[in-house]
Chains A and B, each alone.
Chain A
């Protein structure tokens, strides 16, 4: 059995954030000293407590790093932790749903890899084991897990790179770009002063808006800058993540490799895949292109900066071909029940609320605090735009939402915020079915169907505005008896 300690880089992550909060001012004050012994003595007298705490943090991190060992052979990996109280996690490869090995740019320079191991035991959406290994150790583990899987003829899919560029260019989501920007700003704000950061961003936006204010109103400029930069960031990150993407299918596993700056390798057990999900944005829905995602414990977990993609954005024809080859047991999506024609309020309620709230706030500012008009007007426009976009997405969703059953699988088509989903799930992976009726839906005879599926992420597949009676009949015909009778017999 091969045994080793984690990569020394792990030592840094064991030091707390306070370590950096202490070391930066200490280093700065040391740097500003004159080259005199007395000055150093004065500095030491003032900073001895900080130095002591720093030393304690480093010693604690070093002991923690020393106390973690991992070992693996052809059938299992063992992770031992602790100094006084020791614990040992033993995971057999046959129980691993997903093993992911990722290397970001810094890790590649330093020869480190992060290994995530996910099993079906997890209650949270984070990986069950996370280990930072030397690259050679990670490669050895990857080969050991690969060796434990069935040998069979492989089938590989390599997305067309030109098509990837074109589709990423047109269908990158500004929303996911916003998420990346917010995460980036949050991380930067943790290091820099948050006020300085906010002022810098506002000054830049205002300056840009003023420059073109002759041609375009400042509000439109600011919104445009935010959307375009978010979209551009999403486009670039899509390309970096999916460049060099290779999907290989074996009889019991799916192998995924991707990434330019951050290199990722994953092995997924096919029988642990809970469902497949074709995700589309509004534009990709209109042009019939999508990306294929899977739900499998440990893959694309929220705790990590990773997507659960098995095929990046491409044409529907290619996606269908890939499903046929990689997941042959999954049938073609079949929708038997669509939304009730009178259920439009179920779709428009949220956009109306999200439009009314900024409108109300704007009205309050306009009548009671007119001096704040200059701030309230752009803020109103910024909040109004996502609500209007949501209304447009919901309009399309009204015509596409629905579900159906075929060959032991359930197909669900719905939208969540700005993303459209087509989920195909085996019936035995459905954990819970909920049929909900608001007072208005009771009047119109419609309902909301919520399906929960076996997964560590506890996903909620929510379909609005379906006719109640037909939904009940369809569920009853497929083994989900949900008719109501208050009789206690």
Chain B
């Protein structure tokens, strides 16, 4: 069995984006709701709390928890943000695979694979480019084998 974990750089980029969005939202609240002191402080506190919650706890936990396991017969994903999920799909049921990669995905880790089967799909998120290539090859071989 081969195991794949998520690329940490994707987490750092998302955390950076969360920091920017939190900062921008807090600035807008401070700029336009300055005359409503209590409301302004409450909203800024909520934004900062949500930013910290996702950036320092939930997303790192998600990245730490998510593992993709590939064996000869099946593919399993252990993942989850608030709801933990264990998903397993038999490779012989796979029909085709979709790969989605952003520009500079080799650095950012924004590589996604979607396995389509008759009756369900499975998403493999934030993969390293080499892991994505390997998984894509293995899945394509399984799909071709299933057709034979």
Shortest distance from the beta carbon of A139 to any chain B beta carbon, whole Å: 32
A436-B118 contact, Cβ under 8 Å, with A484-B78, A486-B65: no
A455-B87 contact, Cβ under 8 Å, with A431-B93, A482-B76, A488-B5: no
Q: Which residues of the partner chain A approach B122 to less than 8 Å between Cβ atoms?
A: 432
Q: Which residues of the partner chain B approach A454 to less than 8 Å between Cβ atoms?
A: 93, 117-119
B144 at the interface (CB under 8 A from A): no
Report whether B85 and A455 are in contact in the complex, using a CB–CB cutoff of 8 Å. Answer: no
Report whether A434 and B87 are in contact in the complex, using a CB–CB cutoff of 8 Å. Answer: yes
B43-85 CB contact bits vs A (8 Å, 1 = yes)?
A: 0000000000000000000001101000101101010101111
Report whether B83 and A436 are in contact in the complex, using a CB–CB cutoff of 8 Å. Answer: yes
Report whether B88 and A432 are in contact in the complex, using a CB–CB cutoff of 8 Å. Answer: yes
Complexed CA–CA distance, A480 and B88 (Å): 7
Report whether B119 and A432 are in contact in the complex, using a CB–CB cutoff of 8 Å. Answer: yes
A46 at the interface (CB under 8 A from B): no
Complexed CA–CA distance, A481 and B87 (Å): 10
A458 at the interface (CB under 8 A from B): yes
Q: Which 7 A-B pairs have the closest CB atoms?
A: A452-B120, A431-B119, A432-B120, A435-B86, A437-B84, A482-B86, A431-B93
Q: Which residues of the partner chain B approach A456 to less than 8 Å between Cβ atoms?
A: 118
B86-98 CB contact bits vs A (8 Å, 1 = yes)?
A: 1111101100000
Q: Which residues of the partner chain B approach A481 to less than 8 Å between Cβ atoms?
A: 71, 74, 76, 88
B3 at the interface (CB under 8 A from A): yes
Complexed CA–CA distance, A421 and B7 (Å): 42
Instruction: For B89, give its contact among A432, A435, A439 (CB under 8 Å).
Output: A432
A412-444 CB contact bits vs B (8 Å, 1 = yes)?
A: 000000000000000010111111111100100
Complexed CA–CA distance, A434 and B76 (Å): 10
Shortest distance from the beta carbon of A128 to any chain B beta carbon, whole Å: 14
Report whether A431 and B86 are in contact in the complex, using a CB–CB cutoff of 8 Å. Answer: no
Q: Which residues of the partner chain B approach A432 to less than 8 Å between Cβ atoms?
A: 87-90, 93, 117, 119-120, 122
Q: Which residues of the partner chain B approach A111 to less than 8 Å between Cβ atoms?
A: none
Interface of A is mostly: loop
Report whether A436 and B85 are in contact in the complex, using a CB–CB cutoff of 8 Å. Answer: yes
Shortest distance from the beta carbon of B131 to any chain A beta carbon, whole Å: 11
Q: Can you list 12 residue pairs at the A/B interface with Cβ under 8 Å?
A: A120-B118, A428-B90, A430-B93, A431-B90, A433-B87, A436-B85, A437-B83, A437-B84, A437-B85, A452-B119, A454-B117, A488-B4
Complexed CA–CA distance, A438 and B5 (Å): 23
A489 at the interface (CB under 8 A from B): yes
Q: Which residues of the partner chain B approach A459 to less than 8 Å between Cβ atoms?
A: 119
Instruction: For B88, give its contact among A120, A482, A485 (CB under 8 Å).
Output: A482
Q: Which residue of A lies closest to B118 (CB)?
A: A454
Complexed CA–CA distance, A454 and B118 (Å): 5
Report whether A431 and B65 are in contact in the complex, using a CB–CB cutoff of 8 Å. Answer: no
Complexed CA–CA distance, A481 and B86 (Å): 10
Q: Which residue of A lies closest to B78 (CB)?
A: A484
Report whether B86 and A439 are in contact in the complex, using a CB–CB cutoff of 8 Å. Answer: no
Sample of 9 more A-B contacts, CB < 8 Å, known A442-B84, A454-B118, A455-B118: A428-B90, A431-B89, A431-B90, A431-B118, A436-B83, A436-B85, A436-B86, A486-B67, A488-B5
Complexed CA–CA distance, A479 and B71 (Å): 12
Q: Which residues of the partner chain B approach A150 to less than 8 Å between Cβ atoms?
A: none
Q: Which residue of A lies closest to B95 (CB)?
A: A123
A484-B93 contact, Cβ under 8 Å, with A431-B117, A431-B118, A452-B119: no
Q: Which residues of the partner chain B approach A190 to less than 8 Å between Cβ atoms?
A: none
Q: Which residue of B lies closest to A430 (CB)?
A: B90
Q: Which residues of the partner chain A approach B65 to less than 8 Å between Cβ atoms?
A: 486
A264 at the interface (CB under 8 A from B): no
A173 at the interface (CB under 8 A from B): no
Complexed CA–CA distance, A482 and B76 (Å): 7
Q: Which residues of the partner chain B approach A479 to less than 8 Å between Cβ atoms?
A: 73
Report whether A488 and B86 are in contact in the complex, using a CB–CB cutoff of 8 Å. Answer: no
Report whether A458 and B84 are in contact in the complex, using a CB–CB cutoff of 8 Å. Answer: no
A453 at the interface (CB under 8 A from B): yes
Shortest distance from the beta carbon of B67 to any chain A beta carbon, whole Å: 6
Shortest distance from the beta carbon of A121 to any chain B beta carbon, whole Å: 9
Complexed CA–CA distance, A475 and B87 (Å): 12
Report whether B85 and A435 are in contact in the complex, using a CB–CB cutoff of 8 Å. Answer: yes
Complexed CA–CA distance, A439 and B80 (Å): 11
Shortest distance from the beta carbon of A196 to any chain B beta carbon, whole Å: 44
Shortest distance from the beta carbon of A456 to any chain B beta carbon, whole Å: 7
Complexed CA–CA distance, A41 and B51 (Å): 72
Q: Which residue of A lies closest to B67 (CB)?
A: A486
Give residues 84-135 of B contacting A (CB, 8 Å). Answer: 84-90, 92-93, 117-120, 122
Report whether B76 and A488 are in contact in the complex, using a CB–CB cutoff of 8 Å. Answer: no
A152 at the interface (CB under 8 A from B): no
Complexed CA–CA distance, A476 and B119 (Å): 22
Q: Which residues of the partner chain A approach B76 to less than 8 Å between Cβ atoms?
A: 481-482
Shortest distance from the beta carbon of B75 to any chain A beta carbon, whole Å: 10
Q: Which residue of B lies closest to A427 (CB)?
A: B90
Q: Which residue of B lies closest to A487 (CB)?
A: B3
Give residues 447-470 of A contacting B (CB, 8 Å). Answer: 452-456, 458-459
Q: Which residues of the partner chain A approach B74 to less than 8 Å between Cβ atoms?
A: 480-481
Complexed CA–CA distance, A455 and B95 (Å): 13
Q: Which residues of the partner chain A approach B71 to less than 8 Å between Cβ atoms?
A: 481
Q: Which residues of the partner chain B approach A438 to less than 8 Å between Cβ atoms?
A: 82-83
Shortest distance from the beta carbon of B73 to any chain A beta carbon, whole Å: 8
Report whether B88 and A433 are in contact in the complex, using a CB–CB cutoff of 8 Å. Answer: yes
